[in-house]
């Protein structure tokens, strides 16, 4: 490999005009990403793999991190972030957060001009001070990177927990980045080296060409559909990227939000559904109802089967409020306490097809029923595959399009405690729920009267709801979601064993 070049200035990334390159070594924060700060991502690890209390400690330690970073050593500042965020956490939990939570925030922050240059290269290597396994899933799956050279975390071999310290040679900054590039590429220098700060000059100087990515308030993010993978599933409670300001506002709001959520839940719990529609507005919950609502079934007539997409555990409750009367719902993986506290009858299914079919038929003979055939929630604008079981149960099918909007906390989780889902939803300052009732399916589009197959009916209902919501229909399932986000198949026993 060529000997190190003397320190020099590098042209802007906008001057890089080559069409293709064989290889590239690129920094991450401030280079491939618009933001130069990795604090939000450490905050996400601290909260999602640790706790809100650990996140608070990290936030309060930020002045110490800033002083250390700028006035003592870049490496010491990052080491403090790593220690507070990682110490005592199971490596498996950190890896799951890196795969399930971080990619959504990274993907929204990819810098357009840097990614375009990065994407033109055949061999793509990212060199970063961040822990390797924290950024590797995103770099490989969404940026198309081949290798991540990052800081290696020390792990206790007995407990499989991070100690909070880093392995030798230490935090990857300055000369250590250069040495890692020399070790990775051997005698063949990377064609391109791109970075955003002076400490990146060490590794950029050994590349055949080097370009600086200068901070810019006008830097534009890459459209999400340009990345190598799409964000369909993600986990975590934070809606917004927890930069220092957002994190501070969130922690200030937390005690008030928790008290407000308790009031919103238990004040409305004993009230009739026809009244709750109005008390929701009084308590800051915006409920939008569209479409024609059918009257309750007359005595001796089977109930309507309301089939909705699944956005949160509150979907059936909100549909009951929109109808102004109690309706039953069926559910998987919900605790007895949650069913006890539910303001509408909630019946647990067993995943035994024959037993569940008999139970649903029995409920429909007594009145209306709400089902969510996706089997799990999806936060993004996609619909998962609809289970066809509902189509076999009734010809009185009413599609219901449901959407909800949250600006601070998500009211769903894969790895967290599901009991708290409604409380997190109601902790949002101004949550919104939108319910759109569609026309009942014509007889010719049903199984018994129309001769359609159950799968045809399920796919038709999925498409109708997708068209109304503007969501994309997919063939993905609950199992796909839980395998990606939780490392299990989504069954209660698997979820429990995966946390041990």
Rounded distance, CA 203 to CA 175, Å? 7
For residue 7, pLDDT beyond 70: no
Angle at 174 between CA 169 and CA 176, to 5 degrees: 25
Percent of the chain exceeding pLDDT 70 equals 94
Residue 348 pLDDT? 81
Rounded distance, CA 52 to CA 60, Å? 12
Per-residue pLDDT band at 350 (split at 50, 70, 90): confident
Its sign, for the CA torsion 258, 328, 479, 388, is: negative
pTM beyond 0.95, yes or no: no
DSSP state at residue 155: E
Task: Report residue 300: phi and psi, to 5°.
Answer: 90, -5
Transcribe 256-321 into DSSP letters.
Answer: HHHHHHHHHHHHHTTS-HHHHHHHHHHTT-EEEEEEPPPPPPPTTSPPPEEEE--SSTTHHHHHHH
For residue 150, pLDDT beyond 70: yes
Phi-psi region of 333 (alpha: psi -120 to 50; beta: other; left: phi over 0): left
Residue 490 pLDDT? 59
Identify the three-state secondary structure at position 351.
coil
Rounded distance, CA 33 to CA 105, Å? 10
Residue 68 pLDDT? 94
Max distance between CA atoms of the chain, in angstroms, equals 89
267: tokens are 């004040």
Per-residue pLDDT band at 335 (split at 50, 70, 90): low
pLDDT tens, 29-79?
999 999 999 999 999 999 999 999 999 999 999 999 999 999 899 999 999
For residue 492, pLDDT beyond 70: no
Rounded distance, CA 461 to CA 456, Å? 9
Strand partners, 211: 194
Residue 472 pLDDT? 95
Per-residue pLDDT band at 301 (split at 50, 70, 90): confident
Q: Indicate the average pLDDT of the chain.
A: 90
For residue 194, pLDDT beyond 80: yes
Structure-model confidence comparison of residues 491 and 14, the more confident one: 14
Residue 499 pLDDT? 53
| Average pLDDT of the segment spanning 222-236 | 94
356: tokens are 């569940």
Residue 16 pLDDT? 83
Per-residue pLDDT band at 330 (split at 50, 70, 90): confident
Give the neighbor-by-neighbor strand order of the sheet with 369-371: 286-291, 432-437, 397-405, 305-308, 369-371, 328-331, 346-348
pLDDT tens, 413-423?
998 888 899 99
pLDDT tens, 304-325?
999 999 999 999 999 999 999 9
CA distances from 32 to 24, 130, 263, 278, 353 (A): 12, 13, 44, 48, 49
Count Cβ atoms within 10 A of the Cβ of residue 474 and give its class: 0-12 exposed, 13-18 middle, 19 or more buried. middle
Transcribe 424-448 into DSSP letters.
Answer: HHHTSSS-EEEEEEPPPPPGGGSST
325: tokens are 């009367």
Most confident of 59-68, 212-221, 446-455: 59-68
Identify the three-state secondary structure at position 6.
coil
Residue 2 pLDDT? 47
For residue 494, pLDDT beyond 60: no
pLDDT tens, 73-112?
999 999 999 999 999 999 999 999 999 999 999 999 999 9
Residue 5 pLDDT? 46
Residue 487 pLDDT? 77
Q: Are 239 and 406 in contact (CB under 8 A)?
A: yes
DSSP state at residue 199: G
Its sign, for the CA torsion 153, 54, 77, 135, is: positive
Residue entry with tokens 């049903």 = 446
Rounded distance, CA 365 to CA 369, Å? 10
Residue 334 pLDDT? 64
Identify the three-state secondary structure at position 164.
strand
Strands 328-331 and 472-473: unpaired
Task: Report residue 436: phi and psi, to 5°.
Answer: -120, 115
Rounded distance, CA 44 to CA 487, Å? 19
Rounded distance, CA 242 to CA 219, Å? 20
| Average pLDDT of the segment spanning 334-358 | 78
312: tokens are 């949160």
Residue 251 pLDDT? 97
Rounded distance, CA 182 to CA 147, Å? 14
CA distances from 245 to 53, 137, 251 (A): 17, 27, 10
Report the length, in residues, of the chain. Answer: 500
Residue 373 pLDDT? 92
User: How many whole angstroms from its chain centre is CA 223?
Assistant: 17
Per-residue pLDDT band at 180 (split at 50, 70, 90): very high
Peptide bond into 70 cis (omega under 30): no
CA distances from 466 to 82, 147, 294 (A): 42, 38, 22
Structure-model confidence comparison of residues 8 and 302, the more confident one: 302
| Average pLDDT of the segment spanning 258-277 | 94
Residue 157 pLDDT? 92
Residue 500 pLDDT? 52
């Amino acid at each position: 490999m060529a000997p190190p070049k003397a320190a020099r200035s590098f042209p802007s990334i906008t001057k890089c005009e080559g069409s293709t390159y064989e290889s590239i070594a690129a920094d991450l924060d401030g280079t491939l990403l618009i933001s130069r700060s990795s604090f939000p991502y450490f905050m996400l690890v601290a909260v999602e793999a640790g706790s809100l209390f650990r996140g608070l400690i990290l936030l309060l330690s930020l002045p110490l991190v800033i002083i250390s970073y700028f006035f003592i050593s870049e490496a010491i500042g990052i080491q403090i972030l790593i220690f507070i965020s990682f110490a005592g956490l199971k490596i498996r939990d950190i890896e799951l957060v890196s795969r399930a939570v971080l990619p959504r925030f990274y993907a929204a922050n990819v810098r357009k001009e840097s990614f375009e240059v990065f994407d033109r290269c055949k061999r793509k290597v990212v060199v970063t001070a961040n822990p390797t396994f924290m950024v590797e899933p995103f770099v490989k799956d969404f940026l198309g990177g081949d290798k991540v050279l990052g800081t290696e975390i020390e792990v206790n071999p007995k407990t499989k927990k991070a100690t909070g310290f880093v392995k030798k040679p230490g935090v990857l900054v300055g000369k250590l980045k250069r040495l890692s590039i020399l070790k990775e590429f051997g005698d063949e220098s990377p064609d391109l080296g791109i970075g955003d700060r002076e400490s990146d000059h060490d590794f950029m100087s050994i590349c055949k060409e080097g370009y600086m990515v200068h901070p810019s308030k006008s830097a534009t993010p890459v459209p999400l559909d340009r990345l190598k993978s799409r964000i369909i599933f993600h986990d975590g409670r934070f809606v917004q990227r927890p930069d220092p300001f957002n994190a501070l506002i969130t922690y200030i709001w937390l005690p008030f939000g928790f008290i407000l959520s308790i009031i919103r839940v238990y004040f409305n719990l004993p009230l009739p559904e026809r009244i709750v529609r109005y008390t929701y507005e009084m308590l800051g919950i915006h409920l939008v109802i569209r479409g024609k609502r059918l009257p309750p079934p007359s005595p001796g007539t089977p109930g309507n089967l309301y089939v909705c997409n699944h956005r949160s555990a509150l979907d059936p409750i909100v549909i009951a409020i929109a109808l102004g009367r109690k309706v039953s719902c069926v559910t998987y993986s919900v605790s007895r306490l949650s069913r006890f506290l539910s303001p509408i009858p909630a019946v647990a299914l067993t995943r035994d097809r024959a037993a569940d079919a008999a139970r649903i038929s029995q409920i429909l003979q007594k009145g209306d029923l709400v089902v969510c055939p996706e089997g799990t929630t999806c936060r993004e604008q996609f619909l998962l595959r609809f289970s066809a079981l509902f189509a076999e149960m009734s010809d009185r099918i009413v599609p219901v399009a449901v959407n909800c909007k949250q600006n601070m906390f998500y009211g769903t989780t894969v790895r967290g405690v599901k009991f708290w889902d409604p409380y997190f939803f109601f902790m949002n300052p101004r949550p919104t729920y939108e319910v759109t009732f569609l026309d009942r399916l014509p007889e010719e589009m049903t199984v018994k009267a129309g001769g359609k197959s159950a799968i045809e009916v399920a796919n038709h209902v999925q498409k109708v709801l997708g068209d109304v919501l503007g969501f994309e229909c997919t063939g993905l399932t609950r199992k796909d979601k839980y395998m990606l986000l939780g490392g299990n198949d989504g069954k209660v026993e698997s979820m429990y064993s995966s946390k041990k």
